[in-house]
Amino acid sequence: MAWSMATRWRPALGGLIGLGGLIGLGGALLSRGSPLSELGLAPATDPDVIFIVLDTVRSSSTSLCGHDRPTTPVLESLKRQGWATTCRAVTPGTWTVPSHASFFTGWEVSDFEGGARQPTPEQTLTGQLAARGYQTAMISANMVLKEPGWIGEGFDTLEIAHSFSELKGDALSGSVAARLEALDPDRPLFLFVNVVDAHAPYPAVPEGLGWIEPQRPVQHRMWLKDRQTPFNRYVSGEMGDAEARRYRRRLANGYDYGVFQADRSLGRILGLLRGADRLGHARVVITSDHGEFVGEHQLVGHGDTLYEPGVRVPLLFHPAAGPSPVLPEPLSARHVFELLLEGALPDPEPPISVVTHQPSQRTSYSGVAVWGPDEQKLLWRDGTLQRFDLSADPGELRPLPVGQHPLLPVLEASAEAHNHAVASTRSPGEETIELLRAAGYVE
């Protein structure tokens, strides 16, 4: 049974056709999964489980994490209310599909072996919660999550946007409200929502905000063949200094307003959950699947490199009961799997690593990065080893020799697993390629 793009709130089917294989960074997944078994009812004491992904929101552009613009007042209010918070979470991948695949399994992106390995329903977050009797709902404003079929398995209902503009702002909160109204009040809920307001194309900035100047929408148009577009001229280094400064300013303005809109959407969703009595005693994680470049390192967008703007994101956690824990830093965001399922992190927490591989992009490379607790970051980049001291060089402008750093064996093992996954990568179907091209992930 193929995915019906014209149908919303369609019951999840065990035989949804997934992606044919891995695109780019090791993860546009996967193929068919097995039907879920007959579900029982969960005990009334099981908490609701809420997972909200603020797509494309990097730490450094949130006022929660020190940005000088008031982009995330809702996130700031949650921190004041005592939610566990870190601005040093590291995404498992550099774009949407691989990161979500990792979120829903706890696996590293390389563990999927380029699409050759996929989880059973019993191994996924949704499958395990469904087996406990949870009613499950997925609402994704990001259209790219339309085709990794196994991610949708276990959800009673799914709604996935057809474009990046369809489920932004009030449209998204309207979908959440409709879903909450249809719930069985006596059964616990697992709700997953992807909020895409910060994703390009960036919205027009209106007048009257006071902290940002108004401007027209910003669309990268990165795959136009006209090499004289602003995007192509900037990333190729052909733009003069003064024009480049203006271009970066427009990018930052549009992106910051998108982050602000994502935060507003989050506030509406939390208000709806609170009104439905689904928030106070819920286990909640809010994070992002990747960051965004707005000119740093002569890059625009995301999906192809491992510098901090693309992978460092905020993560907030609300336990179902008791005080909020202190989150370790840095923290791999793939551990949202354990936080949502059991309310605790693995002990001991394994090393943090992220991979990227997008040979179809001009600004891309094949790489692996690992992080240590002392702000040391090691990078394997197309076979070259580098080290960055993020405390002294937060912009990652001065690479250092790796030497015999204690993290070197971890980096080498991660690079070996990554290379195996790249070699195993399956070719996707044309429909999948068109979907990813429309989203700007491939040429």
**Tens of pLDDT, residues 224-267:** 666 778 988 999 899 999 999 999 999 999 999 999 999 999 99
Strands (E) in 141-246, as ranges, are 157-160, 189-195
Q: How high is the pLDDT of residue 357?
A: 57
Any idea which residue has 């001009």 for tokens? 362
Quote the CA–CA distance of 203 and 297 in Å, as a whole number. 23
∠ CA 89-418-390, rounded to 5°: 35
Report residue 139 as tokens: 């609402």
Give mean pLDDT, residues 114-136.
91
Quote the CA–CA distance of 388 and 367 in Å, as a whole number. 15
Quote the CA–CA distance of 369 and 359 in Å, as a whole number. 17
CB 83 within 8 A of CB 226: no
Q: How high is the pLDDT of residue 33?
A: 31
The answer to whether residue 1 scores a pLDDT higher than 50 is: no
CA distances from 240 to 37, 101, 244, 300, 318 (A): 61, 40, 6, 16, 47
Strands (E) in 2-44, as ranges, are 10-11
Q: How high is the pLDDT of residue 351?
A: 77
CB atoms within 10 A of CB 140: 26
Task: Evaluate the omega torsion of the peptide bond into residue 328 and state whether it is cis, within 30 degrees of 0.
Answer: no
Give mean pLDDT, residues 182-210.
96
AA identity, residue 170: D
The answer to whether residue 358 scores a pLDDT higher than 90 is: no
Q: How high is the pLDDT of residue 5?
A: 27
The DSSP code for 275 is: H
Radius of gyration of the chain (CA): 21
Q: How high is the pLDDT of residue 110?
A: 85
CATH of domain 10-351: 3.40.720.10
CB 322 within 8 A of CB 128: no
∠ CA 287-306-386, rounded to 5°: 135
Q: How high is the pLDDT of residue 408?
A: 93
Quote the CA–CA distance of 193 and 337 in Å, as a whole number. 15
pTM of the predicted protein model: 0.86
- For residue 316, the cross-strand partners are 85, 286
With left for phi above 0 and alpha for psi between -120 and 50, is residue 354 left, alpha or beta?
beta
Q: Could you tell me the pLDDT band of residue 429, with boundaries at 50, 70 and 90?
A: low
Quote the CA–CA distance of 381 and 399 in Å, as a whole number. 12
Q: How high is the pLDDT of residue 35?
A: 33
H helix or E strand, kind and range, residue 183: none
Q: How high is the pLDDT of residue 112?
A: 78
The answer to whether residue 331 scores a pLDDT higher than 90 is: yes
Residues near 416 by beta carbon (within 8 Å), at least 6 away in sequence: none
- For residue 113, the cross-strand partners are none
SS3 call for 74: helix
Give mean pLDDT, residues 337-347.
95
Q: Could you tell me the pLDDT band of residue 434, with boundaries at 50, 70 and 90?
A: low
Quote the CA–CA distance of 189 and 111 in Å, as a whole number. 29
Starting at the edge strand found earlier in the chain, the sheet holding 84-90 runs: 10-11, 157-160, 135-140, 189-195, 49-54, 283-287, 312-318, 84-90, 331-332
Quote the CA–CA distance of 168 and 61 in Å, as a whole number. 19
Quote the CA–CA distance of 362 and 8 in Å, as a whole number. 36
Q: How high is the pLDDT of residue 225?
A: 65
Q: How high is the pLDDT of residue 222?
A: 64
